[in-house]
A = this chain, B = another copy of it.
Amino acid sequence: MTKTVKALAEHVGGVVEGDETIEISGANTLGEATEGQVSFVANQKYIRDLKTTKASVVVVGEKIDAQGKTIIRCKDPYYSFTQIVVLLHGYREHKPIGISQNASIAENATIGENVDIHDFVCISAEAEIGDGTKIYPSCTIGPGTKIGKDCIIFPNVTIYDGCEIGDRVTIHAGSVVGQDGFGYATHEGVHHKIPQIGNVIIEDDVEIGANCSIDRGTLGSTIIGKGTKFSNGIVIGHNTVLGEHCLLVAQVAIAGSTTIGHHCVFAGQAGVVGHIEIGDQVTVGAQAGVVNDVKSGESIVGSPAIPLNQAKKSVLLMKNLPEFRNKLRDMERTIRKILKGE
């Protein structure tokens, strides 16, 4: 399938500068695009690549000079490019297969319309699977767990008993939802397990990466807010409440009973202790260790994490240490001379 530059521009509400009749068959990065492909510049840093790219058309923002290239000018070029990628390539297709004869579905489970359940899936007693949801091989859906509409559950996912998954949720392979939280009462040197009788609620439009682990609440729920996206290998503790539209990069760990606002971003391998409050639109740096409450809008880095500006000062002071040492030496020498009356 190909589309003209004109058609692409109309699809995203952009304006063409150059030849709107070129046929485009695919999308790629500036460096790897070939003739007949569309690319994008969302960042001033990459403007220099506009001249050398082999892309036939480039989606650019409002203030970027076309430099002789055919361009589609848009307000939000990365988003417009994404829409074009969806138009040209689409998302992964899921072949409808219905309910596999090799799946094991409890008699009193409720299965919606147009559901695909692949081989070796277990749907436990009283579970509910919403219309249009796809469950790939070797997943287990625990007793009483409810999954909404149009979800995609990739292979080898386990969802424990009593959890609630919203609509249009995607969970990638190997992830686990609803295992027991890490709760023990230690008495005379022995750790006694605290019953973990809560659950996990995953709201609409969440995407969970591969091999993530989300603890159920001890009492009450662990909640992942609407539209939040996880990369891989992420761990969420019991009773943590994550707000809407957050982004969690790979291997982030958030301990139990922490409350996090909306539109927060956690870079890779960041860790957050339990029982704190993090506001809205907070940015946490890679490998940061968050140990205290964080106000809305703050950017924090380091372990233990401190505000970004403060951290920059510390780094600067560390860099000045050799200079401090030299000054100390010079001054000691001068003082010695003064004392000797030289």
Residues of A within 8 A of B (CB): 27-29, 32, 76, 78-79, 81-83, 85-86, 89-92, 95, 100, 102, 104, 118-120, 122, 125, 136-138, 140, 143, 154-158, 160-161, 170, 172-176, 179-180, 182, 184-187, 189-197, 207, 209-213, 215, 219-220, 227, 229, 231-233, 235, 237, 245, 247, 249-251, 253, 255, 263, 268-269, 271, 273, 286-287, 289, 291, 303, 313-314, 317-318, 320-322, 324-325, 327-328, 331-332, 334-335, 338-339
Residues of B with C-beta under 8 A to A136: 140
Complex contact B182–A160 (CB within 8 A): no
A276 to B332, CA, bound (A): 43
Residues of B with C-beta under 8 A to A247: 184, 191
CB contact between A155 and one of B125, B158, B210 (< 8 Å): that residue: B158
Complex contact A229–B191 (CB within 8 A): yes
A29 to B187, CA, bound (A): 20
Residue of A157, A170, A215, A235 most packed against chain B (CB within 10 A): A235
Instruction: Looking at the assembled complex, report how far the CB atom of A283 sits from the nearest CB atom of chain B, in whole angstroms.
Output: 13
A106 to B207, CA, bound (A): 28
Interface of A is mostly: loop
A179 to B287, CA, bound (A): 23
Residues of B with C-beta under 8 A to A182: 209, 229, 231-232, 249-250
Residues of B with C-beta under 8 A to A269: 253, 269, 271, 289
Complex contact B179–A210 (CB within 8 A): yes
Complex contact B235–A235 (CB within 8 A): no
Complex contact A235–B237 (CB within 8 A): no
Complex contact A251–B250 (CB within 8 A): no
Instruction: Looking at the assembled complex, report how far the CB atom of A227 sits from the nearest CB atom of chain B, in whole angstroms.
Output: 6
Please judge, given known A-B contacts A120-B104, A156-B140, A158-B174, whether A268 and B253 are in contact too, CB under 8 Å. yes
